[in-house]
Structure 1
């Protein structure tokens, strides 16, 4: 009985539906009516699309796909103008380690909350990471205008240390100060300090000193002021004045090691070695376990021409199990300076694999070459390849570079050929050979090597992009080029070089609007002179001539070397600002 009831339960609904269908009007009799067709749009809460997007973002985050999660939150944030969602998108982009997506999220965050501190600091940091110093400065000035510490002096020091283009930064700071002459903002002094530092770095020492003198009268308690005055006096060669400024700073901030170092530096320049040693010994006594401090002090001694004092500080560090790699590099440099070539070689080769590894081998090989021992340099690099198999390809590339510098390109080619015979599937070496072929104008050889890599590894984004861009820029095979670049884009959609290639191939095919979209993204992530030239050319083609000229004007200020921009100006001289 129970089984028959179940069977009946299965049959009855079907029969009911069939009978219902027979009684339904056909489409020719009555149009179906959507009861929601005239309903007002959803203005509060979640609609179906929004809910779907948010669920996708949540599930993506739970399974560790933070990139997809960030995109979902960002889409939802734009849909509902939600600050909470855009903050969540930014957090997910951080976990995804996707700088392009992180910047998109931060910009949206700033658009929704223009007075918020966090997105401005984040955008300032991201701009620095991609080398866009002016964009970073703009974000910091926005903070300063709101009475928030923009850390402008620290920014200026970074810009100087890393060789940023100073004049555009100075121009913007001068403009800011002219608009805020009598500012009562709590951190206005920071802008004055930053301006003075950049003026000094730009050779405008008198103007910088005048700013600092005025600041000393109003804010003598600022350690940063005395740091700046010390450094400017050192730059001007006024060693006694520099020492006095450093001592003044030390009185204000007695535990600040920077002032102790500066006092020691000025004493060394005044040949007061004992006084300098006293300062340094006092500093070491307070920080006896700091290896980094010993290395920094050794660098100071070396810069001031006291290699033996530097060696005295460094040698005790070589007996520890965790010797910092710079110790061996510095000891190698000291031995090299003293003419102890073989000792220097022993130190350089002790630098372990890591950030300093290749530089140490470069220094060692160059030292031997400078000593007219080219064959010894090559043998040294060959032995190092045997000792460090994981770094072998990098060492081959280094030897190729050194041979090229000596005008021995044929030997470099022969080396690459031999190494590829031993390791024919080495994509790194084959890619290097392809780039050398490109440099020599041999596009056929370049294409042959890149296609070999792509056949072996269809997901090699660099090879796909390199070949696609070359075909775009130097041939008429644009459809083929676009296919290669699109494959690279699928593999790395946020890679700035690939975005540039996507924009350039769209431009070559006459799709200027699509080209602009890709190139704007590329320039936001990698504002170099080549992308700037491409973007300016596309803007010009779209009839946006003033924007194109503005891009060229900015490039002329920002980049000392700008071959692609210069080539564009030769082709389209009307672009000149």
Structure 2
């Protein structure tokens, strides 16, 4: 055990688990098996969890802590019959299945899991077990079976311990609301609030139902007068603001969201919804100013929405300066690249290139932005500028195969006078990464340009087999055509058209060799 403990601290659960399991088997102690299970969980190895919990329950079938851990592991391993047998064993051993209702809630977004749980809990041997019936009710709630819930919910409330009643009151209220019993839904929650005055879940649900029942002002006043922690204010207020906005009550949504604490874990979500409320209320400048404060997991969503709104307002020239400012605050070059793409979708390549250049002026070490600018230059026919950017990247990263290949390929197709240098760069890239299909494609095309058709065909076939890509297909088909294998070339080109029919390289190749394929689109 000491050896296992030291190993756990020094090398982690994966190395320690076999030592714990051996100690558990040797000692026959369920306490050691419990520790073995903890090590298995730390190792993030589902098979280890199954082995540890099997031994634990063999030694002590009434070990209540083992059941939820093993149940989860069996579901992950898709051993559904064994999971059902485990619950039946727990009932036989008179072990409460109190983990089941919360477990169902955790799977709320996983349709496959909830479907399997319905089947597992339907076993006749589990019929009537309180926590099984509670779990079934939670599943019915997730599936919107309001009438079915209302036939049994009162009896379950009578039988259930206090820690389960709070969620049952909420389920009952929602079910009544869905079946049109709006007043009874509200009074159910009001009565629940009397019995459970500290329940934020009942309080939040009551506010939502009051809003749905047309009592918006009363709900807002109740929220504003409540004694809540800053996080609870954010959590409940955000939900209210979203619901009010969905109900078309923009001013009330703004009223609620504006007063929420500006700092905390939900601040970005609050500002995002508030910006949308301002936008729908016609307060465009406030909407934009609020949206610029959104970062975190919603950062790109905010940038994308900024672009959308400013294009709709006929003010796309304002976009780039805002995005540069946001990039500095968020240190995220992906915003620049993403907005550059959005400019191109709006047929404003000038703004796309302007943004990339401004970003590199402000943040010269953003290599991904420089690479994007090189590609943009090349697409606009400014290949000398593209090569200049690619040279900078290759010099800065001499061991980066992708940069060497990009520079070599661009020189090869845009500046064939320097084809020897181009091929040398591509061969360096190939030595660094001989499995990259883009590099293999470049090398194959280099051999084709040298007139070495058989070598070119072999390399392009290798690239195509690794990744069916429209540009690789354009090159491969051309080489096959020159080798007299026209039908195989047509087959490759047809597949390439399905992959990307608008790729300029592919279309130019087909216009030259087989334009009838373009007519068949």
In structure 2, the CA distance between the partners of 1:300 and 1:123, relative to structure 1 (3 Å rule), is farther
Q: Is the 8 A contact 1:265 1:300 kept in 2?
A: yes
In structure 2, the CA distance between the partners of 1:404 and 1:163, relative to structure 1 (3 Å rule), is farther
What CA deviation, in whole Å up to 9, does each residue of 1:212-252 have, x standing for no partner? 35535766973332211112233344422321322232233
What CA deviation, in whole Å up to 9, does each residue of 1:435-467 have, x standing for no partner? xxxxxxxxxxxxx99x969949x9xxxx99999
1:104 is the counterpart of 2:61: no
Q: What CA distance in whole angstroms lies between the structure 1 residues aligned with 2:212 and 2:40?
A: 49
1:417 is the counterpart of 2:377: no
1:153 is the counterpart of 2:101: yes
Q: Which residue of 1 aligns with 2:67?
A: 120
Structure 1 stretches of 5 or more lacking a match? 1-50, 435-447, 468-474, 482-577
CA RMSD of aligned residues (A): 5.2
Q: Is the 8 A contact 1:125 1:136 kept in 2?
A: no
Higher RCO (CA < 8 A, seq sep 6+) = 1
> What number of residue pairs does the alignment pair up?
382
- Aligned-pair distance for 1:328? 2.3
What CA deviation, in whole Å up to 9, does each residue of 1:513-569 have, x standing for no partner? xxxxxxxxxxxxxxxxxxxxxxxxxxxxxxxxxxxxxxxxxxxxxxxxxxxxxxxxx
1:194 is the counterpart of 2:141: no
Q: Is the 8 A contact 1:326 1:356 kept in 2?
A: yes
What CA deviation, in whole Å up to 9, does each residue of 1:270-326 have, x standing for no partner? 2223432343234x2x22x42432442243143133443343344345666998333
Q: What CA distance in whole angstroms lies between the structure 1 residues aligned with 2:401 and 2:277?
A: 34
Q: Is the 8 A contact 1:124 1:137 kept in 2?
A: yes
In structure 2, the CA distance between the partners of 1:58 and 1:179, relative to structure 1 (3 Å rule), is closer
Q: Which residue of 2 aligns with 1:253?
A: 196
Of 308, 321, 324, 2:267 maps to 324
What CA deviation, in whole Å up to 9, does each residue of 1:492-531 have, x standing for no partner? xxxxxxxxxxxxxxxxxxxxxxxxxxxxxxxxxxxxxxxx
Q: Is the 8 A contact 2:235 2:266 kept in 1?
A: no
Equivalent residue runs for 1:373-412 within 5 Å: 376-377=318-319, 380-388=322-330, 390-392=331-333, 394-396=334-336, 398-399=338-339, 402=342
Q: What CA distance in whole angstroms lies between the structure 2 residues aligned with 1:466 and 1:78?
A: 52
Q: Which residue of 2 aligns with 1:526?
A: none
Q: What CA distance in whole angstroms lies between the structure 2 residues aligned with 1:133 and 1:205?
A: 30
Q: Is the 8 A contact 1:226 1:249 kept in 2?
A: yes
SS in 1 for 2:152: helix
Q: Which residue of 1 aligns with 2:290?
A: 347
Q: What CA distance in whole angstroms lies between the structure 2 residues aligned with 1:140 and 1:309?
A: 51
Q: Which residue of 2 aligns with 1:544?
A: none
- Aligned-pair distance for 1:117? 3.1
- Aligned-pair distance for 1:143? 8.5
TM-score normalised by L of structure 1:
0.52
Q: Is the 8 A contact 2:147 2:175 kept in 1?
A: no
Q: Is the 8 A contact 1:144 1:188 kept in 2?
A: no
Q: What CA distance in whole angstroms lies between the structure 2 residues aligned with 1:367 and 1:272?
A: 32
TM-score normalised by L of structure 2:
0.57
1:270 is the counterpart of 2:210: no
Q: What CA distance in whole angstroms lies between the structure 2 residues aligned with 1:193 and 1:428?
A: 57
- Aligned-pair distance for 1:348? 2.1
What CA deviation, in whole Å up to 9, does each residue of 1:67-109 have, x standing for no partner? 45324425635874865555444444555xx42x2x3332112
In structure 2, the CA distance between the partners of 1:466 and 1:72, relative to structure 1 (3 Å rule), is farther
Q: What CA distance in whole angstroms lies between the structure 1 residues aligned with 2:56 and 2:437?
A: 38
1:210 is the counterpart of 2:156: no
Equivalent residue runs for 1:53-72 within 5 Å: 55=3, 57=4, 60-62=7-9, 64-72=10-18
In structure 2, the CA distance between the partners of 1:150 and 1:144, relative to structure 1 (3 Å rule), is farther
Q: Is the 8 A contact 2:254 2:277 kept in 1?
A: yes
- Aligned-pair distance for 1:66? 0.9
Structure 2 stretches of 5 or more lacking a match? 357-368, 376-388, 407-424, 440-459, 467-521
Q: What CA distance in whole angstroms lies between the structure 2 residues aligned with 1:428 and 1:373?
A: 39
Q: Is the 8 A contact 2:288 2:306 kept in 1?
A: yes
Q: Is the 8 A contact 1:69 1:89 kept in 2?
A: no
SS in 1 for 2:111: coil
Q: What CA distance in whole angstroms lies between the structure 2 residues aligned with 1:240 and 1:374?
A: 49
Q: What CA distance in whole angstroms lies between the structure 2 residues aligned with 1:466 and 1:142?
A: 56
Equivalent residue runs for 1:361-510 within 5 Å: 361-369=303-311, 371=313, 376-377=318-319, 380-388=322-330, 390-392=331-333, 394-396=334-336, 398-399=338-339, 402=342, 417-418=372-373, 421=389, 455=432
Of 101, 115, 121, 1:168 maps to 115
SS in 1 for 2:65: helix
Q: What CA distance in whole angstroms lies between the structure 1 residues aligned with 2:133 and 2:179?
A: 23
In structure 2, the CA distance between the partners of 1:476 and 1:239, relative to structure 1 (3 Å rule), is farther
- Aligned-pair distance for 1:256? 1.4
Q: What CA distance in whole angstroms lies between the structure 1 residues aligned with 2:203 and 2:267?
A: 23
